[in-house]
A and B are shown apart, each in its own frame.
Chain A
């Protein structure tokens, strides 16, 4: 069974800390995505990557950066965590195949910044 694994289900961090959220997929997918999920706002795209070392900003990239050094791993970095970054973070991946539009999502990391 294909999988997207997020390293932590729950995290509590302090304001100003540098935070790393890790995502690993085992499907050899080219494209990987980071979304945040907030009540009433749905999922909003933070960053995505279409290849190793390649990245593009999504709709809400401010305060975040990403790293993709290996095809299977896509990391989201909060340079200096703030309370307004308290949220559920979801990682997803998909193949670049034109016939396959489906995303596979991880289970999410619920981050609380105090």
Chain B
């Protein structure tokens, strides 16, 4: 079955530091890949996505590249801010069959807590 593995947390950084959160996956076929973010007390929000190999998703200064050869989708940001403190989830979506009921189900990693200090 599908699975997603994220680097162990929590991650603590100083403001303006470089961020990498590793994510690797196991899936059959050609999944789409996502990063979601959960701010304190809120639900999950889509941060970025990539739907095919070598695609780069980007949003709010965050980037991730779909690497099929290494089955990875690592999240990076060049200069983090205190407001980036949140839990980050890597996820994949299977394609399923045409009209299949499994189409679009998300499988999540375990989440990585990021804390950024001033």
B106 within 8 A of A: yes
> Are A101 and B101 in touch, CB under 8 angstroms?
no
Q: Chain B residues near A54 (CB, 8 Å)?
A: 101
> Are A105 and B43 in touch, CB under 8 angstroms?
yes
| Chain A count of residues within 8 A CB distance of the other chain | 28
Q: Chain A residues near B103 (CB, 8 Å)?
A: 96
Contacts A101-B49, A102-B46, A105-B45; A45 near B105 (Cβ below 8 A): yes
**Interface residue stretch chosen among B13-21, B61-69, B78-86, B108-116:** B108-116
- A-B contacts counted at CB < 8 A amount to 61
Interface size class of B (residues with CB under 8 A): 20 to 34
Question: How far is it, in angstroms, between the C-alpha of A42 and the C-alpha of B49 when the chains are bound?
Answer: 18
Contacts A42-B111, A101-B32; A94 near B43 (Cβ below 8 A): no
A34 within 8 A of B: no
Question: How far is it, in angstroms, between the C-alpha of A50 and the C-alpha of B97 when the chains are bound?
Answer: 14
> Are B105 and A48 in touch, CB under 8 angstroms?
yes
Contacts A101-B32, A101-B49, A101-B51; A106 near B109 (Cβ below 8 A): no
Contact among B44, B104, B109, B111 with A101 in the assembled complex (CB-CB below 8 Å) = B104
> Are A43 and B108 in touch, CB under 8 angstroms?
yes
> Are B89 and A42 in touch, CB under 8 angstroms?
yes
Contact among A42, A45, A103 with B109 in the assembled complex (CB-CB below 8 Å) = A42
> Are B44 and A90 in touch, CB under 8 angstroms?
yes
> Which A23-49 residues have C-beta < 8 A from chain B?
31, 33, 35, 37, 39-45, 48
A17 within 8 A of B: no
> Are B108 and A4 in touch, CB under 8 angstroms?
no
Q: Chain B residues near A42 (CB, 8 Å)?
A: 4, 6, 89, 108-111
> Are B110 and A40 in touch, CB under 8 angstroms?
yes
Q: Chain A residues near B6 (CB, 8 Å)?
A: 42
> Which B22-81 residues have C-beta < 8 A from chain A?
32, 34, 36, 41-46, 49, 51
> Sorted from nearest, which 10 A-B pairs have the closest CB atoms?
A105-B43, A42-B110, A43-B108, A42-B108, A105-B44, A107-B43, A50-B101, A102-B46, A101-B32, A42-B111
Q: Which residues of B contact A (CB under 8 A)?
A: 4, 6, 32, 34, 36, 41-46, 49, 51, 89, 91, 93, 101-111
